[in-house]
Structure 1
Amino acid sequence: MTNKVKEIWTSGQVVINGWLSIPSGFSAEVMAQCGFDSITVDLQHGVQDYHSMVACLQAMGAFPVTPMVRVPWNEPGIIGKVLDAGAYGVICPMINSAEEAEALVRACKYPPRGARSNGPVRAGFRGPGGAYQATANEQTLCLPMIETRAAVENMEAILDVDGIAGVYVGPSDLGFSYGLTPKLDRDEPDIIEIFRKLLRECEQRGLYAGIHCSGPAGAKRAIDLGFKLVTLLSDIGMMASAARQWVGETRGGGGQQG
Structure 2
Amino acid sequence: MSTSTSMSTNTSALHKMRSQEPCLGTWLSSGSPVVAELASLCGLDWLLLDMEHGNLGEADILPHLRAIRGPAAVVRVPTHEPGLIGRVLDRGADAVMVPHVDSAAEAEALVRAMRYPPHGDRGLSRSVRAFGFGLRAPDTAPASQPPLLAQIESAKGVANVDAIAATAGVDILFVGPADLRLSLGCTPGAPSYDAALERVIAAARTNAKHAGILVRDRTETDALLQRGFTKIAVDSDMAILKAGFLSLAGIRGAA
1:8-157 alignment runs, 5 A limit: 8=16, 12-60=20-68, 63-119=69-125, 121-125=128-132, 128-130=135-137, 132-134=138-140, 137-157=143-163
Farther-moved stretch of structure 1 (76-85 vs 189-198): 189-198
Deviation at 1:10? 6.0
Contact kept, 8 Å, 2:25 with 2:234, in 1: the verdict is yes
Aligned partner letter, 2:227: L
Task: Tell me, in whole angstroms, the C-alpha distance in 2 between the residues paired with 1:115 and 1:31.
Answer: 34
Task: Tell me, in whole angstroms, the C-alpha distance in 1 between the residues paired with 2:204 and 2:19.
Answer: 17
Contact kept, 8 Å, 2:23 with 2:231, in 1: the verdict is yes
Counterpart of 1:253 in structure 2 is: 254
Deviation at 1:126? 7.6
Aligned partner letter, 1:199: I
Counterpart of 1:227 in structure 2 is: 229
Pick closer, same or farther for the CA change 1:134–1:128 going to 2, 3 Å. farther
Per-residue CA deviations over 1:160-212 (Å, capped at 9, x if unaligned) read 1111112111000000001135xxxx322221121122112211111001101
Aligned partner letter, 1:20: L
Q: CA RMSD in A?
A: 2.0
Farther-moved stretch of structure 1 (46-55 vs 136-145): 136-145
Partner SS for 2:43: coil
Contact kept, 8 Å, 2:173 with 2:200, in 1: the verdict is no
Pick closer, same or farther for the CA change 1:46–1:11 going to 2, 3 Å. closer
Task: Tell me, in whole angstroms, the C-alpha distance in 2 between the residues paired with 1:33 and 1:56.
Answer: 13
Task: Tell me, in whole angstroms, the C-alpha distance in 2 between the residues paired with 1:213 and 1:139.
Answer: 27
Pick closer, same or farther for the CA change 1:155–1:10 going to 2, 3 Å. closer
Counterpart of 1:175 in structure 2 is: 181
Pick closer, same or farther for the CA change 1:204–1:139 going to 2, 3 Å. same
Pick closer, same or farther for the CA change 1:83–1:32 going to 2, 3 Å. same
Partner SS for 1:18: strand
Pick closer, same or farther for the CA change 1:10–1:156 going to 2, 3 Å. closer
Farther-moved stretch of structure 1 (8-17 vs 76-85): 8-17
Count of aligned positions: 246
TM-score by length of 2: 0.89
What percentage of residue pairs aligned between the two structures are identical?
A: 32
Gaps of 5+ in 1: none
Farther-moved stretch of structure 1 (218-227 vs 100-109): 218-227
Aligned partner letter, 1:122: R
**Larger RCO: 1 or 2 (CA < 8 Å, sep 6+):** 2
Partner SS for 1:39: strand
